[in-house]
Structure 1
């Protein structure tokens, strides 16, 4: 059976001062990562701290808070980490290095009122929704039309992730319209159903596009 291997961001530091048990210290983000790499369901629970290339701590022995520019680590080991200690930290990211893309063709003129555009699609994937876009395949030419698209898992709307379609922005051919930032309620299980909803509709006369949902798997989805 194929398996996904945990992805970790690693950073090494030397403690400038002693850190008592329950004390904290800050580090920068590992190369190639940022706060966004660990938000909205993308942070794993298997963080690891190795002190002086010898003592290994994980699980409840440390807790991690991902700030805007630094990561705050709480020492819950029960011992004081001495000043000058060499500390290696590995911050867990969700399993799976491959994104999965779901694509749904949409005819804008068929959206005449608020309601589902796609209803109860079953991705069969345990993961988090990272992104939501609309790519124009037939431009809109009639002015003053609009609709907003959002995602729903089961009966709960994804927080954020709204695409505001208008006559002005649904052109030219090939334009990609990104949703607002997705900030929560975006976790899928293998049994989840996913819907695309329309709201605030002033019906379009023409135009087509493809809605794309980007999912990051959070565990092995292979058999």
Structure 2
């Protein structure tokens, strides 16, 4: 066997092992985020779960923020990078999107993401997840703005208000029996909120400018 062949095979083995180590560490990081959140995050727990020496972890990710940032990018494959539905009907889009959202919440990635969102007021957490949150929020808002453009909802309907109201209802119901929200309840919540939006109750009122003072 030539030296070139030996070198090529060695690189392949090391590359494969390196990739496995990265995946083990990222998976353990997500699990630790789901368990402890960001503030209480323990590098020791990641090291133990991944069966990887802390020195090896710190060599690649010199601090907690860098490691969690890498895990967030990895999680986006599961949590964020699946396109939201665009069926041509707002009700169908919302039912499908919230059904997926509830399914993700039951996964370790969804639980980890929920813990990070709960700590978003921490500037360090916000710097890690802020761009991803803004991007995904824009995709959710786009479902509503498309419905306005199709004439399903009146002009000026506030996507943030509609989605916030619907999300609060769905999350409250789901909290009573996590993972077992019945399809008919989800559909009823969507129909109720969308019906209210169609009536114009969620139209954002333009702010009135204060009248100029008399000179």
TM-score normalized by the length of structure 2: 0.28
Is the strand fraction higher in 1 or 2?
1
Higher helix share: 2
Question: Whose relative contact order is higher, 1 or 2, with alpha carbons under 8 Å and at least 6 apart?
Answer: 1
